């Protein structure tokens, strides 16, 4: 489930880069150049964060029937 969200964020970031990069002028001086560089740096952080989340997400352990039965045995039953 979470990997789908990370992939969606990566794709949406890619779409924003596709439409935004031609409009940016990173070599301008002044506030427009600073904005362009900050926007590109933020996009790099978003891509790096989502890629690291996809790559380093812990795997779910497959619970076997034996482990499930042990959990059921440990359950305390109280009768009133």
d(CA 11, CA 67): 39
d(CA 12, CA 15): 5
Who has greater pLDDT, 62 or 15? 15
Q: Is 50 exposed, middle or buried (0-12, 13-18, 19+ CB in 10 A)?
A: buried
**Whole-number pLDDT of residue 28:** 87
**Whole-number pLDDT of residue 3:** 85
Contact (Cβ atoms closer than 8 angstroms) between residue 28 and residue 36: yes
The pLDDT tens digits for 37-78 are 999 999 999 999 999 999 987 877 665 565 655 555 566 677
Residue 26 in this model has a pLDDT that exceeds 90: no
**Whole-number pLDDT of residue 13:** 94
């Amino acid at each position: 489930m979470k990997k789908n969200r990370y992939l969606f964020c990566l794709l949406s970031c890619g779409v924003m880069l596709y439409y935004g990069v031609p409009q940016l002028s990173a070599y301008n001086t002044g506030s427009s150049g600073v904005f362009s560089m900050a926007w590109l740096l933020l996009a790099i952080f978003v891509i790096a964060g989502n890629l690291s989340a996809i790559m380093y997400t812990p795997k779910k352990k497959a619970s076997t029937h034996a482990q499930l039965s042990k959990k059921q045995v440990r359950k305390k039953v109280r009768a009133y």
